[in-house]
Amino acid sequence: MTESILEVKGLKTYFHTRAGVVKAVDGIDFTLGKGKTLGIVGESGSGKSVSMMSILGLLPQPPAKIEGGTVFFEGQDLLTLNREQLRTLRGRKIGMIFQDPMTSLNPYLKVSTQLMEALTEHDRSTSKKSAYERALWTLEQVGIPDPKQRIEQYPHQFSGGMRQRVMIAMTLMMAPEIIIADEPTTALDVTIQAQILDILRNLQVKRGLSMILITHDLGVVAGMSDDVLVMYAGRPVEQGTVEEIFYRPHHPYTSALLRSIPSVLREDQELYSIRGLPPDPARLPPGCPFAPRCERAMPICTQAPPIRRLSLTHTSVCHLEVSPP
């Protein structure tokens, strides 16, 4: 097994709202291997983004509160760091790319300013000139044509795909160990999606980056990830290697997600969709949160499901017995 770079254990993030306590993330564990990509999959509201933002200290507290868990990175628990220690870590060691490139870049500032500060805020001895050159170089790296001219422009002068490239370039201003990409292609056209994923994949290979890829698109996961974590209503449902999840899914939710991928090979079939809606996170059903929508639900599902270990890397949280291979 490869060396791990990030280990998350029992992470819990709750929101204390007027409507009650919302358990946005309720005990997830995962390990990110060095140089590997972990795909985190789930519907919106399943706590994917919240867990990542908890790790980086990007959530407003209150109403959010991290109620428990550990996040080990380079021998220290990130959850015990103070605000300033976390800040110096963000961007420098762990870079993050967000979903909507239209709103994630500051419309009032030039691209050059936004790129350069990703470097100068961490290394104040850097001269303006070398920061500017670094910025030009990163734009080139992510395949922005004519960077000398583009760097002086404002975000609104870029197309969506180009903006996402700028976002990626921003994480390259430092040399982070981990990049967290939160739905990096969801807001983009299909053709552009492929380009952005290509850039991310190349970077990873070239620099030996580790990556966490958050998405609700299993197709993206299949092409990019080594390991997969499936989440539902703030809890882990199943995790394993890409092969295990795609070819030997155990949890009914994972199977349902896989069946809902449209496929050209099965064009005769009707598109599958999971019945019902995701539960209200403030009022989760007892036991397995997926049970009300599950096709294979049993009476016992109102009790907390056990963690079933299917292999060294494959676990599933479900009452269903493990069928012999």
Among residues 10, 19, 286, 304, the one that binds other proteins under rule CB under 8 A: 19
135 touches other proteins by CB under 8 A:
no
9 touches other proteins by CB under 8 A:
no
Q: Is the Cβ of residue 17 or residue 311 nearer to other proteins in the bound state?
A: 17
Q: Please tell me the distance from the alpha carbon of residue 122 to that of residue 125, in angstroms, as a whole number.
A: 9
N- to C-terminal Cα separation, the chain: 23
Strand 37-41 relative to strand 94-97, pairing? unpaired
Q: Candidates 15-23, 261-269, 294-302, 317-325: pick the segment binding other proteins (CB under 8 A).
A: 15-23
What is the phi-psi region of residue 278: left when phi exceeds 0, alpha when psi lies from -120 to 50, beta otherwise?
beta
Taking each continuous run of H as one helix and of E as one strand, the counts in the chain are 11, 12
| Residues in contact with other proteins, shown as a per-residue x/- string from 242 to 281 under the rule CB under 8 A | ------------------------------------x-xx
Q: Report the nearest approach of other proteins to the CB of residue 259 (Å).
A: 23
Q: Report the nearest approach of other proteins to the CB of residue 208 (Å).
A: 21
Q: Report the nearest approach of other proteins to the CB of residue 113 (Å).
A: 8
Q: Please tell me the distance from the alpha carbon of residue 224 to that of residue 244, in angstroms, as a whole number.
A: 15
Q: Please tell me the distance from the alpha carbon of residue 93 to that of residue 80, in angstroms, as a whole number.
A: 17
Tokens (6 digits) for 245: 């999840």
Q: Is the Cβ of residue 91 or residue 305 nearer to other proteins in the bound state?
A: 91
Kindly give, in sequence order, each residue whose CB lies less than 8 Å from that of residue 168, ignoring residues fewer than 6 positions away.
97, 142, 184, 196, 199, 200, 203
Nearest by Cα to 119 from 109, 110, 129: 129
Going from the C-alpha of 293 to that of each of 277, 285, 301, the distances in angstroms are 8, 11, 11
Q: Report the nearest approach of other proteins to the CB of residue 22 (Å).
A: 6
Q: Candidates 73-81, 106-114, 143-151, 288-296: pick the segment binding other proteins (CB under 8 A).
A: 106-114
DSSP 324: P
Among residues 5, 8, 24, 237, the one that binds other proteins under rule CB under 8 A: 24
122 touches other proteins by CB under 8 A:
yes
Among residues 9, 34, 65, 87, the one that binds other proteins under rule CB under 8 A: 87
Look-up of token digits 């430092």: 174
| Residues in contact with other proteins, shown as a per-residue x/- string from 168 to 197 under the rule CB under 8 A | --x---------------------------
Binding site for other proteins (CB under 8 A): 15, 17-19, 22, 24, 44-45, 47, 49-50, 53, 56-61, 83, 87-92, 95-96, 98, 100, 103-110, 113, 117-118, 121-122, 154, 156, 167, 170, 278, 280-282
